[in-house]
Structure 1
Amino acid sequence: MIKPWIATLCLASGLLAAAGASAQVKELNFSFITTESSSNLKTAWQPVLDDMSKATGIKVNAVFVPDYAGVIEALRFNKVQVAWMGNKSAMEAVDRAGAEVFAKVVGKDGTEGYYSLLVVHKDSPIKNLDDVLKSRASLTLGFGDPNSTSGTAVPGLFAFAQNGVDPTKDFKRTVRANHETNLLAVVNKQVDVATNNTENVHRFSQTHAEQSKNFREIWRSPLIASDPIVWRKDMDEATKAKVRAFMLNYGKTEREQQNLQVIGYSAFRPSSNAQLVPVRQIELARERAKVEANTALAADERAKKLAEIDARLAELGRQLASAK
């Protein structure tokens, strides 16, 4: 059975695949991962995409993909050419789908980052992360998509792995869902604690005003770099120039700023693959912890693997330092 979002892509016309990557295109698919309902995202983003179409002379189609793996594959096979993603999924897209970070979002308050959260129902006896860790065997955890930065990677390391907890095994039950679904599950007491992030909580307060009163934050991560915007690296330079110019100059009029405020942003800023280095460090740190804990490995094999990981971490550290 063909998935609805794939059918939508197949109906679109004038794509790069048809025109050839070397020719300037007349139509682009801009993909969004459905961290909340597609209708909410479409309402929020459509005015920006309409302005983008007018400014660039390129028809821009909004494509809503249900999971991170789906948008990575869509980029890989040239079904979408531009995408709004989290850092973890952008890393996968860069490594596997020929994508490249060219911009990032800026929060309503001007910040270029956001925070991963753990949230509980407002009436929950759970007060902090220590309560979660102590009672985990009796709790249901609402976890994020495996490729979600704030829903999985960041809390997986900073809330759980650094405390010797495996979020997929050590809770009574762990269920995976997008951010909006996890918040609703907390509100409706279907899970005891769930991951989320400050950006989505803001959006939820706008789209679910009454329900947003029924949960509270109990843990906040270190700052995460704001969401990147990626494009296919092989997209023609003329199209890239138009898309880049539009995004980096958007939000200077009152009307444009109002459009951005609806989606929780105030501007787009230039960026590059360098912003993904901290996520790569997180992933390698998780891998290192697993190798260290693997008693089935011979001592020399473990030492070899750890040395390889440490060398990669050192190289990433140099990359991060040179990017500053």
Structure 2
Amino acid sequence: MLRRAFLAGMAALALGASAASAETPKEINFGIISTESTQNLKTQWEPFLADMEKATGIKVNPFYATDYAGVIEAMRFNKVQVAWYGNASAIQAVDRANGEVFAQKIYADGSRGYYSILIANTNSNINSLDDVLKQPGKLKFGNGDPNSTSGFLIPSYYAWAKNNIDIRKHFTTALNSNHEANLMAVATGQVDVATNNTEDFAKFQRAQPDKAKLVREIWRSPMIPADPLVWRTDLDEGAKKKILAFLLAYGQPGPNQAHEKEVLDALGQWGGFLASSNDQLLPVRQVSLFKDRMKIEQDATISDADKKKQIAEIDAKLDELSKKMAEVKTQ
């Protein structure tokens, strides 16, 4: 009963917000995924959001949640209108929360991507992924948030699925946490190996150099597209234009460039933003489908007929994705 009442209330809020979306909003809520502690995120993000508010004339309220799903659900019910996501969580926002990718961050060196990594303590005998694969039933694992691209999806496919590893059986424990917590868990020896990414590891090295010396990278993925920014498709067009214009100009030559570069550096050595679209999610969608395909192939509880049917459905989706990616490359 309480759950039905809660969902009804959230739906009512969403309908009310949708009805008002025809007018430029006086304020918006900006969602920030939980890659580390809320206090750290506030320190990094609030100067940027203050600049956005000043430039657009729209009050910008930060929205934090304890996990990625909290931001996705908030966008679904129009409690969040714009958000910073990873690619995997952006897929959920696009598919389930009326979201649309409209911009992508870039790094200070001009690169448009980053890497998922596995990390271990420098005092351990773990120096490579192969060292992890050779120790079934002996190691503790720090996994990422289930909606994280670099902390969960990418290593699930490239490190585990492609090596026929079921993490529930391979490790003595497998705990989900954010990037910052996984770095600390490896540094303090609470887990033997954990997922992370090159951006958050670099931030950790700057913020806690002594602890960072206890952590080493043992595996690196192919490049992941840099994080997207997503807005609700029903956000007022005038607000969209103001927000996008602010992002594309931020950190670029002008009277405020020095200040803006400091803010971007605190966010993770960012260099600014480029316009983007849902097309940037296509490679990550492909990895997700490949992972699902391998899981079905290895599932002995599924009948041959059902397995053949499910794999055929995934192959059809993969074929559509391949065609779409080829079209995007030629544009």
1:254 aligns with 2:258: yes
Q: Which residue of structure 1 aligns with residue 284 of structure 2?
A: 279
With over 3 angstroms needed to count, the CA separation of the structure-2 counterparts of 1:223 and 1:18, relative to structure 1, is closer
1:137 aligns with 2:140: no
Contact in 2 for aligned 1:145/1:176 (Cα 8 Å): yes
Which of residues 294, 302, 306 is equivalent to 2:299? 294
Contact in 2 for aligned 1:33/1:65 (Cα 8 Å): yes
**How many aligned residue pairs are there?**
312
Structure 2 matches for 1:27-176, cutoff 5 A? 27-176=27-176
- Deviation string 1:99-147 (CA, Å, 9 cap, x unpaired) is 1100011112211100000000111111100000111310000000111
Distance in 1, matches of 2:214 and 2:300, equals: 44
Distance in 2, matches of 1:183 and 1:291, equals: 32
Structure 1: tracts of 5 or more residues without a match: 1-9, 11-15
Letter in 1 for 2:102: F
Q: Which residue of structure 2 aligns with residue 241 of structure 1?
A: 241
- Deviation string 1:149-179 (CA, Å, 9 cap, x unpaired) is 0011000000110000012332111111000
Distance in 2, matches of 1:130 and 1:178, equals: 24
3-state SS, counterpart of residue 195 of structure 2 = strand
Letter in 1 for 2:163: N
3-state SS, counterpart of residue 295 of structure 1 = coil
- Deviation string 1:67-92 (CA, Å, 9 cap, x unpaired) is 11111000001111111111000001
Contact in 2 for aligned 1:141/1:193 (Cα 8 Å): yes
Using the TM superposition, give the Cα deviation of residue 317 of structure 1 relative to its aligned residue in structure 2, in angstroms. Answer: 0.7
Letter in 2 for 1:312: K
Letter in 1 for 2:261: Q
Distance in 2, matches of 1:290 and 1:115, equals: 23
Contact in 2 for aligned 1:40/1:207 (Cα 8 Å): no
Distance in 2, matches of 1:171 and 1:305, equals: 29
3-state SS, counterpart of residue 221 of structure 1 = strand
Distance in 2, matches of 1:65 and 1:273, equals: 24
With over 3 angstroms needed to count, the CA separation of the structure-2 counterparts of 1:18 and 1:286, relative to structure 1, is closer
TM-score between the two structures when normalised by the length of structure 1? 0.93
3-state SS, counterpart of residue 111 of structure 1 = coil
3-state SS, counterpart of residue 119 of structure 2 = strand
Distance in 2, matches of 1:162 and 1:80, equals: 36
Contact in 2 for aligned 1:19/1:25 (Cα 8 Å): no
1:310 aligns with 2:315: yes
Q: Which residue of structure 1 aligns with residue 24 of structure 2?
A: 24
Letter in 1 for 2:271: S
Segments of 4+ in structure 1 off by > 4 A?
none
Contact in 2 for aligned 1:29/1:79 (Cα 8 Å): yes
Contact in 1 for aligned 2:103/2:230 (Cα 8 Å): yes
Q: Which residue of structure 2 aligns with residue 5 of structure 1?
A: none
Using the TM superposition, give the Cα deviation of residue 48 of structure 1 relative to its aligned residue in structure 2, in angstroms. Answer: 1.3
Q: Which residue of structure 2 aligns with residue 321 of structure 1?
A: 326
3-state SS, counterpart of residue 169 of structure 2 = coil
Q: Which residue of structure 2 aligns with residue 13 of structure 1?
A: none
1:270 aligns with 2:275: yes
Using the TM superposition, give the Cα deviation of residue 18 of structure 1 relative to its aligned residue in structure 2, in angstroms. Answer: 8.5
Letter in 2 for 1:159: A
Letter in 1 for 2:284: V
3-state SS, counterpart of residue 167 of structure 2 = coil
Contact in 1 for aligned 2:18/2:234 (Cα 8 Å): no
Distance in 2, matches of 1:49 and 1:58, equals: 10
- Percent of residue pairs bearing the same amino acid type: 51
Distance in 2, matches of 1:72 and 1:212, equals: 31
Distance in 1, matches of 2:201 and 2:235, equals: 34
Distance in 2, matches of 1:165 and 1:47, equals: 43
Aligned-pair RMSD on alpha carbons? 1.7
